[in-house]
Structure 1
């Protein structure tokens, strides 16, 4: 409560119409404040307190799912272009979409290893043996 008092006060007023000063005025008990804070922490993506405590909560669950779908579509498109492209230019795989609370990845993009013709032949040979 000490670290996020401004956010807590704003959310109590916005969601419940309760002033945090009511705690010192005797109109609000510690138990009720605990219940209200617990309720605020479940309102993902909508409250100042949640965003202050967990930066990744800026996005709703649906927004995180949409980001994963977007990453999967970009990866699928990259794989399709790579598999059906006539030129041998190495295109880097797509980087995942930024998400709140996650540090951007500054690493070198992963280069996929292609199988040699002999490895492919042995793999298909093993598949035919089944």
Structure 2
């Protein structure tokens, strides 16, 4: 059988078949997490600081993804949601480190961002 897609996962797996497994809930939650992180970071742009961004990335980049992904994984693997959440604990330290690093990068990029705070407030108010 032919496999379409790049072998991006562990063991050289790839394609839609590999993505439609127990991790599909986590994968499908990523675009929503990105939206929420971007939305709340933009809302706080004029008063942005490291702690706010760390909070946003931890809540939506770690907690939200696990809350969405674990029940779907539990359903697919026929295990309990608690078991799925406990299985996800192994990834929690790495996820938290990545969330903090993303927050640090976001705050550093604000200093060189071409986004004008006045223009941003105007865009947010008009939409």
TM band (smaller chain)? 0.3 to 0.5
**Looking at CA atoms only, which structure, 1 or 2, has the larger radius of gyration?**
1
**Bigger helix share:** 2
Higher relative contact order structure (alpha carbons within 8 Å, sequence separation ≥ 6): 2
TM normalised by structure 1 equals 0.33
Please report the TM-score for the alignment, with normalisation by the length of structure 2.
0.34
